[in-house]
């Protein structure tokens, strides 16, 4: 049995020396597999006499049990070592700063924010939102708004026209959101109280003009609407939008084909060190145009001007965004510069409310 003892010690030494589970498995197969060294000894028991089988069988099985036990213990040790190594490699230093999640890293564009601010203010006054297509007909964009064919007022708008159709008519990119007012009056019966925010297009580009920009217009049609209502609405809007307790406004006569009388509204401001502050100072800044809806527009939209009257106003969303948030160049709103957006943008969860603050 000295050979068995030697074999046992050799196998136990190989088990102790195994550095990983794959090596240990190779030792097990070499010893206890179908063609393993201990399995080979067990296969010789059938050729032995009963006395030899009794003596040598017990010794071989004892050696097998020792090897099995040693394999089990070594396997547990190797598993523990492997787990410790994995934990060391996958350690997370919780003191390191994490990247901001997308909901925190993303920013709402200032124009989208101002759109939300506008709709919040006017919705609180009872206005609905009306929308229309960016591509319009000449009839809705000009004719029904009291721009006669060949009238010089059409030249006030540098229009993007599409190629003429076979009948000579041409579609165009709307130059203002007033066609939405026309569509609303054609599809709804008075009383009407809507605002019309959206994209508009004109051939112009400089620090305060872009070929594509945004406007919001308001329309009220009722039997008793008058300029006093219009002035109150605009006054309350400016106070809420610029977040001041008091603001002075003045209204100057002007001309628009679709309103009569027509007015331009200025708001009180103070210019200081490149900043504009509203609700104080002795300076004035023109901010919007407005007036009573022209009777010709009401007739063109199927509304009797002897029974109903109304008022409308319009302002550039891009410009009031620049005024409120201190932007110097209108074109920056459309440059898609992530650095600029990180500076002027708003966190997605900062939803503007009149109670919590519009520009928080």
Average pLDDT of span 95-111: 80
**Comparison of pLDDT for 90 and 251, the residue scoring more:** 251
Domain membership of residue 179 (yes or no) is yes
3-state SS class at 326? coil
Considering the domain architecture, whether residues 57 and 194 belong to the same structural domain is answered as: no
Domain count along the chain: 2
> Beta-carbon neighbour count of residue 271 at 10 Å?
11
Residue burial 134-149, b: 16+ Cβ < 10 Å; e: rest: eebbbebbbbbbbbee
pLDDT digits (tens, 9 = 90+) for 210-227: 888 899 999 999 999 999
**CATH code for the domain in which residue 166 is found:** 3.30.930.10
Average pLDDT of span 137-147: 91
Any residues with CB less than 8 A from the CB of 159 and at least 6 apart, and which? Answer: 141, 172, 173, 175, 201, 202, 203
Considering the domain architecture, whether residues 127 and 275 belong to the same structural domain is answered as: yes
Question: Is the peptide bond preceding residue 356 cis, with omega within 30 degrees of 0?
Answer: no
**Residue 1: per-residue pLDDT:** 46
pTM of the entire predicted model? 0.68
Domain that holds residue 48: 2-89
Helix (H) or strand (E) holding 178: helix 178-187
Q: How far apart are CA 337 and CA 294, in angstroms?
A: 43
pLDDT digits (tens, 9 = 90+) for 23-69: 888 888 888 887 878 777 777 777 777 777 777 777 777 878 888 88
pLDDT interval class at 108 (50, 70, 90): confident
Domain membership of residue 174 (yes or no) is yes
Segment among 128-142, 170-184, 212-226, 333-347 with least mean pLDDT = 333-347
Residue 4 has pLDDT above 80, yes or no: no
């Amino acid at each position: 049995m000295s050979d068995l003892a030697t074999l046992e010690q050799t196998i136990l030494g190989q088990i102790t020396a195994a550095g990983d589970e794959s090596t240990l498995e190779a030792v097990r197969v070499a010893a206890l597999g179908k063609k393993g060294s201990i399995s080979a000894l067990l296969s010789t028991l059938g050729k032995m006499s009963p006395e030899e089988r009794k003596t040598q069988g017990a010794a071989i099985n004892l050696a097998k049990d020792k090897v099995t036990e040693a394999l089990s213990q070594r396997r547990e040790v190797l598993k523990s070592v492997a787990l410790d190594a994995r934990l060391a490699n996958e350690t997370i230093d919780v003191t390191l700063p994490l990247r901001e999640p997308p909901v925190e890293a993303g920013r709402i564009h200032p124009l989208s924010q101002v759109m939300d601010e506008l709709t919040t203010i006017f919705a609180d006054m009872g206005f609905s939102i009306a929308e229309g297509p960016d591509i319009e007909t000449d009839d809705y964009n000009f004719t029904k708004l009291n721009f006669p064919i060949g009238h010089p007022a059409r030249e006030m708008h540098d229009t993007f026209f599409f190629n003429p159709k076979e009948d000579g008519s041409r579609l165009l990119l709307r130059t203002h959101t007033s066609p939405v007012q026309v569509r609303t009056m054609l599809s709804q019966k008075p009383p009407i109280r809507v605002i019309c925010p959206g994209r508009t297009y004109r051939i112009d580009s400089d620090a305060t003009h872009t070929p594509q920009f945004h406007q919001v217009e308001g329309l009220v049609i009722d039997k008793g609407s008058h300029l006093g209502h219009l002035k109150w609405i605009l006054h309350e809007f400016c106070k809420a939008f610029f977040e001041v307790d008091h603001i002075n406004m003045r209204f100057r006569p002007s001309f628009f084909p679709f309103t009569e009388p027509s007015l331009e509204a200025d708001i009180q401001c103070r210019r200081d060190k490149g900043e504009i502050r509203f609700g104080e100072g002795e300076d004035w800044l023109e901010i919007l145009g407005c007036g009573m809806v022209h009777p010709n527009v009401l007739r063109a939209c199927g509304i009797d001007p002897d029974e109903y009257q109304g008022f409308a106003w319009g302002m550039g969303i891009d410009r009031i965004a620049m005024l409120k948030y201190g932007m110097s160049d209108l074109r920056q709103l459309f440059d898609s510069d992530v650095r600029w957006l990180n500076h002027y943008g708003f966190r997605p969860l900062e939803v503007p409310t009149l109670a919590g603050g519009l520009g928080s």
